[in-house]
Structure 1
Amino acid sequence: MFEKLYNLLNNENGTRVCKDITDDACKHVPKNYFLIIFSNTFTSLGDTLSNPKTVLTWLMSYVSAPVYLISLIVPIRESGSMVPQVAIAKYINKKPIRKWLWVIGSLIQFLAIASIGLIALNFKGSTAGWLIILAIVIFSLARSVCSLSSKDVTGKTIPKTRRGRLKGYTVSISGILVLIAGLYILYTSNNGEATVSFYSNLIFFASITWLVSALIYSRIKEFPGETNTKDSKNKTTFISKLKLLKTDDHFRNFVITRSLLLCSALTAPYYVILAQKHVGKESYLLGLFIISKGIASIISSPFWGKLADKSSKNVMALAVLIASVLGIFTFIIISYSETLRSINWIYPVAFFILGVAHGGVRLGRKTYIVDMATGNQRTDYVSVSNTVIGLILLVTGGLSAIVSLISIEGVVLILSLFGLLGAYKSYKLPNVE
């Protein structure tokens, strides 16, 4: 069954494509392909239902957490999973089988997200806020382990020219589930039933997705790969790892490009804030934003996935161009058209377009870095780039927060202009497929 469906989805009618994986791994590609899709589908759903830009912000507002703590959850969740990766990579590089690291990380994420639901039910104010921040820190560290190990497992079990489609199908399927969840939230909000208990139960449900994912991922057939067994006295420091940025021109250009693609991620919460400012803070907006994200994933992900298998750098260029043009138009509308900025449906539509663009940016860069390297080199590339981007994200996020005190739409414009440069840099990268 897996083999027939795999051949159908990937248009394979003859000899199976097994580029960049071993002969042993080639025999198990169809089953592993769908196990990865199913596990990642559940984690994608969990990510959406516990998203700091939407659900966690609403939840922390319900428990009266201070605004300054609410403003910390996005940079901590995003950068917290990236910055430690150089240190974690040294440990991961010693493991010939790495799926179990992903399973353990997923179980820890399950516990961390579930604890947020318990905190919301039992604490209020600053106490609840700080405890939720602590849970997010633990979640981010576990996410860091999963991020590193998953890319290596994918690289060992799924051949080149099939990885982009895998990610595309994953996001598309999870988008359907997200759409259903968003419709339910919208229905509940319109009936006036959305309470702290409702949002806590939503968080509990989100946490279970990581538990299910861990069980599915454990069934992947992974064969031992390259390891680093050098003497532990020969310590690899963060500074020495950074030499990759000096010695590897291709990798350095990718990291520079990726830093310019951050506009699609960093502008997202400002669209929510603009909606609350110009339309209102009614709870139905949460459902509309989640629905927008779900529809964006369903429609765009298969397209981005197929295009990424042909040229992942072109996916990055096109996607960030869409996000940048959207940001510029948003700035113009907010700044110069009082009538348009008061229309409630404009913001979910803009969030939908941004969701399409951000999905392309994420899928493109992930496919690019997996295809760009092999073995422990892949782990080094991922860890260094994620650590550097995590640090840049903290700085950029902090500066954006300061500028937003003056002009929210101004932040969107500045980030979008950087995105235009990112589109050019992406297009200039060499193809790795």
Structure 2
Amino acid sequence: MTGFARLHALLVDDDESAQVCRDLPESACRAQPHNYGVHVVSLSLARVGEGLADTKLVLAWLLDAIGAPTWALGLLVPVRESLAMLPQLVISARIRRLAMRKTVYVFGCVVQGATVVGFGLMGWFAQMFSCALVGIIAVALIAIFALGRSLCSISHKDLLGKTVDMGWRGSVSGTAGTIAALATLLLAIAYSVGWIPLTVPIVAGMVALGGACWLLAAFVFGLLREEPGATTGDIDGLAAVIAQLGLLRSDAQLRRLIVARTLLLSSALAPPFYIALSGDRAASGLGTLGPFMVAAAAASLTSTYVWGRFSDKSSRLVLMLAATLATLANAVAAFVALTMPTVLEEASLLPVLLFVLMIAHQGVRLGRSVHVVDMADRDNRATYTALSNSVVGLILLAGGVFGVIAQWLGIGAVLAVFTSMAALAILVAAGLDDVQAV
């Protein structure tokens, strides 16, 4: 028994797993204990890398501290998220040509790791460049990072479906998320209480360490025992995009899932507005962001494994419950911002609401990921993932409109919109098939 198989035995009840695989061939089923461990270790390392180099907090702080222009800070998240999703329609057709697809994921991890290490190096040597050049380099790095993330996103769901049986896929992401959340929580506490000084060299070093985690994740994932996959029916370029967009007309459940995901973007877009409500205007320090980092990490630590196991039972119910929590958190924040803004001076209120919101966000991430994998079969799983991600990525480009609404009508109005979106998502998710019961 390999070390990865021992990890599977430790995390999975042998009585539960000692059964005929539901949608894996026999050879892949025999390799599942080893592959389950590989997935958990590799994904945990990648998630730790994300925590050490969080785009919305750590990289933004680093760029601000080294004097990058404001336009570069504003582009970080939109470029990262949209470029991670938009290319996937075309990429999926090329990936389908490959009988063995783990190399795509490994390459994507290497790209992400290398660019994050580049961010760390930029922090160390920023004084050698002009502020404008630092901004250009930062946006270029985040764009390359996003393309690597795109390769990982589209290939990982396909590989997870090929190597881990239905009923255990959610626990892979849940376990990895819990491990990474613990590491991120310790980092957040260390930053908050001053155990780790918030200086450019130290933060840049932690960012580079995050990049190293991605590189190690690539090495571990290379140990995956993958069976050859289907390569027939591949088309490329514009023809691939047109053909795959046709699924939006023919598959009502896929349309409904994409609508639910779009409405649930409210859980991902709301956190920066919570931070803005806190009144923290420190130019080059985390200030009150320390408690927010702790709240986000604690939410991930306490919920990801539970959401993952729950998703294996019913990803539909996970999405409904996550949408309900997002509705409640945003509704309270919107109500307070619109009617009792002085209450926001209570230091613990917004971090508590963010804690609830981030629990919801973890449920959204795990629920929709497991749902799209389980609703598809082994021949169209990559296509379903690419199509849903690309459509949502295109919609995400319009996310800047919420900043305009906030400027015109106030942050409370934006949070009211997010509340309505999350509430509608409950109804839309209720119409999804219970794919795990099939």
TM-score normalised to structure 1 length: 0.94
Q: Distance in 2 between matches of 1:3 and 1:65?
A: 46
Pairwise mapping of residues 204-215 of structure 1 onto structure 2 (< 5 A)? 204-215=208-219
1:12 counterpart residue number: 14
* 1:160 aligned residue (162, 166, 169): 166
Structure 1 pair 231–162 and aligned structure 2 pair: CA distance change class (3 A):
closer
Moved more, 137-146 or 8-17: 8-17
1:227 counterpart residue number: 231
1:128 counterpart residue number: 134
Listed one character per residue, the Cα deviations across residues 254-273 of structure 1 (whole Å, up to 9, x for unaligned) are 11111111110011211122
Q: Helix, strand or coil for the counterpart of 1:420?
A: helix
Structure 1 pair 175–305 and aligned structure 2 pair: CA distance change class (3 A):
same
2:151 counterpart residue number: 145
Q: Distance in 2 between matches of 1:33 and 1:309?
A: 15
Q: Cα distance, 1:280 vs. partner?
A: 9.5
Q: Distance in 1 between matches of 2:21 and 2:9?
A: 13
Q: Distance in 1 between matches of 2:252 and 2:44?
A: 34
Q: Cα distance, 1:231 vs. partner?
A: 7.3
Q: In the alignment, residue 145 of structure 1 is paired with which amino acid?
A: L
Q: Cα distance, 1:230 vs. partner?
A: 5.0
Q: Cα distance, 1:296 vs. partner?
A: 1.0
Q: Cα distance, 1:353 vs. partner?
A: 1.3
* 2:221 aligned residue (217, 235, 252): 217
Q: Distance in 2 between matches of 1:196 and 1:124?
A: 17
Structure 1 pair 47–276 and aligned structure 2 pair: CA distance change class (3 A):
farther
Pairwise mapping of residues 29-428 of structure 1 onto structure 2 (< 5 A)? 29-121=32-124, 122=126, 123-188=129-194, 193-228=197-232, 230=234, 236-277=239-280, 282-395=285-398, 397-406=399-408, 407-428=410-431
Q: Helix, strand or coil for the counterpart of 2:106?
A: helix
Q: Cα distance, 1:284 vs. partner?
A: 4.2
Listed one character per residue, the Cα deviations across residues 379-419 of structure 1 (whole Å, up to 9, x for unaligned) are 11111111100010111x12112112221222122122111
Q: Distance in 2 between matches of 1:231 and 1:164?
A: 30
CA contact (8 A) 1:53 1:268 kept: no
Q: Distance in 1 between matches of 2:6 and 2:68?
A: 51
Q: Helix, strand or coil for the counterpart of 1:405?
A: helix
Listed one character per residue, the Cα deviations across residues 16-73 of structure 1 (whole Å, up to 9, x for unaligned) are 3411111001111111111111111111111122222211221121122222321111
Identity of aligned residues (%): 32
Work out the number of aligned pairs and report it: 429
TM-score normalised to structure 2 length: 0.93
Q: Cα distance, 1:198 vs. partner?
A: 2.1
Q: Distance in 1 between matches of 2:416 and 2:78?
A: 20
CA contact (8 A) 2:310 2:318 kept: yes
Structure 1 pair 235–259 and aligned structure 2 pair: CA distance change class (3 A):
closer
Q: Distance in 1 between matches of 2:110 and 2:285?
A: 34
Q: Helix, strand or coil for the counterpart of 1:376?
A: coil
CA contact (8 A) 2:402 2:414 kept: yes
Structure 1 pair 278–140 and aligned structure 2 pair: CA distance change class (3 A):
closer
CA contact (8 A) 2:177 2:304 kept: yes
Q: Distance in 1 between matches of 2:144 and 2:68?
A: 19
Q: Distance in 1 between matches of 2:233 and 2:169?
A: 29
Structure 1 pair 179–229 and aligned structure 2 pair: CA distance change class (3 A):
same
Q: Helix, strand or coil for the counterpart of 1:164?
A: helix
Q: Cα distance, 1:5 vs. partner?
A: 5.1
Q: In the alignment, residue 290 of structure 2 is paired with which amino acid?
A: G
Q: Distance in 1 between matches of 2:342 and 2:281?
A: 10
Listed one character per residue, the Cα deviations across residues 346-401 of structure 1 (whole Å, up to 9, x for unaligned) are 22222211111100000000000000112231111111111100010111x12112
Superposition RMSD on alpha carbons, in Å?
Answer: 2.1
CA contact (8 A) 2:198 2:285 kept: no
Q: Distance in 2 between matches of 1:340 and 1:385?
A: 40
Listed one character per residue, the Cα deviations across residues 292-315 of structure 1 (whole Å, up to 9, x for unaligned) are 222111211122112111110110
CA contact (8 A) 1:100 1:218 kept: yes
